Amino acid sequence: MILQPNQKLLFIGDSVTDGGRARPDGEGLFDALGKAYPALVDALLETVYPERAIRVVNQGASGNTVRDLAARWETDVLAHRPDWLSICIGINDVWRQFDSPRRPEIAVPIGEYRETLARLCRETRPLLPGGLVLIVPFYIEASTADAMRSRMDEYGAAVKQIAADNNAVFVDAQRAFDNALLHRHSAALAWDRVHPNPAGQMILAKAFLDALGFVWTRGE
């Protein structure tokens, strides 16, 4: 596993990452990490790699787009001086195009999304002693012909390219959900096809840890 002893891993993103985490900083006792995949990642690291003492911080914020991330980048990312940074953003950038079509100004078109995320990654990557992780935005819908799924895949392709350009770890969350959808309807993982239930959050956590080389049978 590529996370090294005593490193700090910071998650940033939207409501999928937020999970009800503490404010201003999602770290510490009493469910401060929230109930989403960052908390599951933390629990699994504590269980399987306790000697590495990885420090996990959750800075997700419900409703965020990549514009919102850029606006709070200094206080919520750089000020924490993480060793590893995980970014999962893009769902709201796309969703607002569909659930609020009469308010186009609150959505983020693909060009702006790509440019903003690429800039944040390019400027931040040299400051990370460990590395950068990019989680692809997803829509828990099996049909790639669905309008929102198709659009989300465009944003996902942009994230994959940005990950390659910045030597980042790429987590294909969409593929992980697609594999699950071979056996379950989307309603069994997320009532709105966006906000994962506990099983969906575990799918995210597993995909994240698999990408980092997590050894599930370690110690057996």
| Catalytic sites, residue numbers | 15, 192, 195
- Of 106, 111, 178, the residue nearest 149 (C-alpha): 178
Task: Decide: helix, strand or coil at residue 90.
Answer: coil
Burial of 22 (0-12, 13-18, 19+ CB in 10 A): middle
- Of 211, 146, 131, 148, which Cα lies nearest the Cα of 175? 211
Q: Are 141 and 149 in contact (CB under 8 A)?
A: yes
Helices (runs of H) and strands (runs of E) counted in the chain: 9, 5
Specify which residues 12 forms β-bridges with: 87
Identify the bridge partners of residue 13 per DSSP, sorted by sequence position. 88
Identity of residue 196: P
Q: Residues 133, 87: contact at Cβ < 8 Å?
A: yes
Distance between CA 106 and CA 108 in Å, rounded?
A: 7
Length of the chain equals 220
| Helix, strand, coil percentages for the chain (3-state, nearest 5) | 50, 10, 40
